[in-house]
Amino acid sequence: MSVSTNDIRTIVIAGHGQSGKTSLTESLLAVSGVIQKPEAVQGGKTVSDYTPEEIERKISIYASLVHLPWKNKTINFWDTPGSSDFIGEVVTAFRSSEIALVLLDSRSGVQIETIKYWRDLDRRNKSRMVFVNKMDEERADFAHCISDIKKQFSVEAFPVTFPMGKGADFKGIVDVLKGKAYEISADGKEKEVDIPAEYMDEYKRQLEILAGAAAEGDEELLIKFIDEGELTSEEIAHGLTLAIKDNRIVPAFAGSALKQSGLTSLLNFITDILPSAEGYLERAEKGEEAVTVKVDETAPLSALVVKTANDQFSGRLSYLKVITGILNADSEVYNVNEQKKERIGKLYRPLGKKLVEIRELVAGDIGVAVKLANAKTNDTFTATADGLPFVKLRTPEPIYSIAVSANEKKNDDKLSEQLFKACEEDMTLSFQFNPETKQNVFSGMGDLHTGIILDRIKKQNKIEIETSVPRIAYRETIRQKAQAEYTHKKQSGGHGQFGRVVLAIQPLARGEHYSFANAVFGGAISKGYIPGVEKGVKEAMEHGVLAGYPVVDVGSTVLDGKEHPVDSSEMAFKIAARNAFKDAMRNAGPILLEPIMNLTVYVDTQYLGDIMSDLSSRRGKILGQSSLANGIEEIRSQVPHKELLRYAIDLRSMTSGTGSFEMSFDHYDPISGKIADEVIAAAKAFIEEQKEE
């Protein structure tokens, strides 16, 4: 059946772990008639948690796309993970949705991951709603959650529905827009009834508040509301639509996913009030500038590959968000990034692991194409070769790394192939060979993240994998100026080798890395040999004199030299310069440099003292601290990379799994004394190991 852009809504369900996202997805599918009954997460049969690793661990690991019909419209829902280890999946879903539905556990209110997701939505200026879940649980508190949002984010959340009772006394919800109540019935379906008398005063109060919020969406409505003090239901609906599209208000809902309560009102609001995708803006690149493209089904085709996955039965899956025009099955498009044509075969709407075949995807819609030859995440498809590429999705940098290898050499290539595939699916993963440390390093957002990927590869490919803590990529530099000369002279019959170089070196500012100057006068070294001198300097900087680490922030100047009319060559001067540099470096106060990372930690106030003390023990420098309300503290610091190799595990242990952190490289700092001696000894032992192999 053909649909238009106006009929499409795409929503990402996001929230802290255990807030009930997968249960809500199940119940929405059941209420809309897509499935007969919702399955419990513990049973391992939910639609959106269907991979073996999700079933085994009873948690969401991947962003899973489902769709359902409601009031002749199609709603796409992304069910996303709640653990910070899988933030890449959430960010992907944010990019391809017009609005987020943020879940709060009614007992806990705003939690750490809620804060991080909210901030990301702010950066994107993306509209959002709030669903306060688990109103049937003990200690449920809807009013606290609403006030918590204001306290934490300095925004008002306007209840569209509010609960009738809580905990064991929870009976259902009142729909402020409809002026009706929805009670929980024995058959699991909500029953529409008149609002009980005991909730009428609260209903009238919330209706007035909601009307005021709607008036903010339109100037004429605002004037009328100020003059008359009320709006019609149609005017409230119109004002809410405009205000939500402009991200001016946050609608809030109450309910229970497990009791299927509050879902009818939520779905009605999505189809009746939420704006369609039409007119939303996507950013594209035009040269070095960013331009905006409106979602429009009448424009020529453009689409973005928002996610890539590999299914053992269907093969490579490319999730496509159509921005303009219509993407037809059995058509040809142009991959702007690869500069190649791409053949689109069949198109599907995903329902978890089930793929429902469709004939087309219209602007604003999202679906799946299978077995595309060249497509990768972030690629742009257009109708013609001159289309503009959309701005690529940026994901957080990996914060946890391990060195990996197959226990049998013959499986190394297979392991590498599988890890590269995993990185194509998840952009918060990285896999690369570090030539300095001679290790294959696999990085992700935590030990759970990397562990799940490695376990999957082990099981699917029958590969045993060895892991270890990665070696640190130290650097070497100098503290003072020095000068040395070296003569390379070799005679073995016929033409010999001769080159003499006088070289001066000096420290550069941290981060300048390298400079080279020629100060030779009088033709002592011909200009044709100077490139050989510079090559020798660069080669010498690849391995320092202390522990063999790369040399940085050193400037070199060739002062003088001597050549032979027959025996000199570029090679001879390269060797002379290389040795002159090493001799000079030994006399220039060589020191080791270690990488220093920016570290931002988010913890409950109760753990603040322990975290501050721990960072000090790791040689960390505290840069600042902020209270984010709701008992969440943000600690900004700089810490040596060596001290953070297991921090993802250590922080989880120190905070009972509630803490999280972000990390990025900042600069290199000198180290000396016992720490430097240990690094040098370990490096020399490693070099000897390499020689023996």
- The label of the residue with tokens 């690149």 reads 285
- CATH number, domain at 421? 3.30.70.870
Q: Determine the Cα–Cα distance for residues 551 and 475; give it in Å rounded to an integer.
A: 6
pLDDT (tens digit per residue) in 350-363 = 999 999 999 999 99
Q: Determine the Cα–Cα distance for residues 436 and 693; give it in Å rounded to an integer.
A: 16
Report the mean per-residue pLDDT for the chain: 93
- The label of the residue with tokens 């498009």 reads 333
pLDDT (tens digit per residue) in 156-199 = 999 999 999 999 999 999 999 999 999 998 777 899 999 999 99
pLDDT (tens digit per residue) in 589-616 = 999 999 999 999 999 899 999 999 999 9
243 and 108 within one domain:
yes
94 and 44 within one domain:
yes
Residue 566 has pLDDT above 90, yes or no: no
502 and 429 within one domain:
no
Domain contains 45: yes
Q: Angle CA(39)–CA(40)–CA(43) in degrees, nearest 5? A: 95
Residue 488 confidence (pLDDT): 94
Comparing CA positions, the residue from 160, 103, 156 lying closest to residue 134 is: 103
Residue 75's pLDDT band, with cuts at 50, 70 and 90, is: very high
> Coil, strand, or helix at residue 333?
strand
**What separation, in Å, do the N-terminal and C-terminal C-alpha atoms of the chain show?**
64
Residue 143 has pLDDT above 60, yes or no: yes
- CATH number, domain at 238? 3.40.50.300
Residue 174: strand pairing partners = 162, 181
- The label of the residue with tokens 């497509």 reads 375
Residue 431: strand pairing partners = 442
pLDDT (tens digit per residue) in 327-354 = 999 999 999 999 999 999 999 999 999 9
Eight-state DSSP code of residue 256 = B
Residue 330 confidence (pLDDT): 96
Comparing CA positions, the residue from 10, 9, 6 lying closest to residue 93 is: 10
Q: How many CB atoms lie within 10 A of CB 123?
A: 9
Contact 534, 520 (CB under 8 A): no
Residue 693 has pLDDT above 70, yes or no: no
H-type alpha helices, 428-484: 447-461
> Coil, strand, or helix at residue 299?
coil
Comparing CA positions, the residue from 73, 68, 96 lying closest to residue 11 is: 96
Give the torsion sign (CA, 606, 103, 127, 80): positive
305 and 428 within one domain:
no
Q: Determine the Cα–Cα distance for residues 651 and 446; give it in Å rounded to an integer.
A: 11
- Predicted TM-score of the model (pTM): 0.83
Domain contains 683: no
566 and 455 within one domain:
no
pLDDT (tens digit per residue) in 191-224 = 999 999 999 999 999 999 999 999 988 888 988 8
662 and 539 within one domain:
no
Residue 95 has pLDDT above 70, yes or no: yes
Contact 610, 573 (CB under 8 A): no
Q: Determine the Cα–Cα distance for residues 311 and 167; give it in Å rounded to an integer.
A: 41
518 and 461 within one domain:
no
Average pLDDT, stretch 56-85?
96
> Coil, strand, or helix at residue 539?
helix
Helix (H) or strand (E) run with residue 613 in it: helix 608-617
Average pLDDT, stretch 575-599?
96
Q: Determine the Cα–Cα distance for residues 353 and 49; give it in Å rounded to an integer.
A: 9
pLDDT (tens digit per residue) in 522-539 = 889 999 999 999 999 999
- CATH number, domain at 297? 2.40.30.10
Contact 603, 630 (CB under 8 A): no
Domain contains 603: yes
222 and 82 within one domain:
yes
Backbone angles phi, psi at 333, to 5 degrees: -125, 175
Residue 496 confidence (pLDDT): 84
Residue 569 lies in domain: 476-588
Where is the domain boundary, 588, 606, 635? 588
Comparing CA positions, the residue from 395, 406, 510 lying closest to residue 462 is: 406
- CATH number, domain at 513? 3.30.230.10
Domain contains 682: no
Residue 1 has pLDDT above 60, yes or no: no
Q: Determine the Cα–Cα distance for residues 309 and 317; give it in Å rounded to an integer.
A: 5
Residue type, 476: E
616 and 602 within one domain:
yes
- DSSP string for residues in 161-199: EEEES-GGG--EEEETTTTEEEEE-TTSSEEEEPPPGGG
pLDDT (tens digit per residue) in 416-433 = 999 999 999 999 999 999
Residue 500's pLDDT band, with cuts at 50, 70 and 90, is: very high
Q: How many domains does the chain have?
A: 5
CA 459 to chain centre: 26
Contact 300, 324 (CB under 8 A): yes
Eight-state DSSP code of residue 125 = T
For 298, 300, 326, the CA distances from 385, given in Å and listed in that order, are: 19, 12, 17
Contact 103, 24 (CB under 8 A): yes
Q: How many CB atoms lie within 10 A of CB 193?
A: 13
- The label of the residue with tokens 């522990």 reads 547
Domain contains 390: no
pLDDT (tens digit per residue) in 46-70 = 999 999 999 999 999 999 999 999 9
Residue 274 confidence (pLDDT): 96
Residue 443: strand pairing partners = 401, 430
Q: Angle CA(36)–CA(38)–CA(43) in degrees, nearest 5? A: 125
Domain contains 392: no
Residue 629 confidence (pLDDT): 66
Residue 494 confidence (pLDDT): 66
Q: Determine the Cα–Cα distance for residues 105 and 18; give it in Å rounded to an integer.
A: 8
Contact 474, 593 (CB under 8 A): yes
Comparing CA positions, the residue from 518, 585, 586, 596 lying closest to residue 553 is: 585
419 and 495 within one domain:
no
Domain contains 490: yes
For 70, 120, 284, 426, 620, the CA distances from 396, given in Å and listed in that order, are: 35, 11, 21, 11, 22
- CATH number, domain at 604? 3.30.70.240
Give the torsion sign (CA, 356, 358, 361, 364): negative
202 and 77 within one domain:
yes
Residue 548: strand pairing partners = none
Comparing CA positions, the residue from 602, 642, 605, 593 lying closest to residue 620 is: 642
Comparing CA positions, the residue from 373, 377, 406 lying closest to residue 390 is: 377
Where is the domain boundary, 273, 293, 323? 273
517 and 376 within one domain:
no
pLDDT (tens digit per residue) in 373-415 = 889 999 999 999 999 999 999 888 888 999 999 999 899 999 9
- What share of the chain in percent tops pLDDT 70? 99
Where is the domain boundary, 588, 608, 629? 588
Domain contains 186: yes
Measured in residues, the chain has a length of 693
Eight-state DSSP code of residue 26 = H
Residue 493 confidence (pLDDT): 64
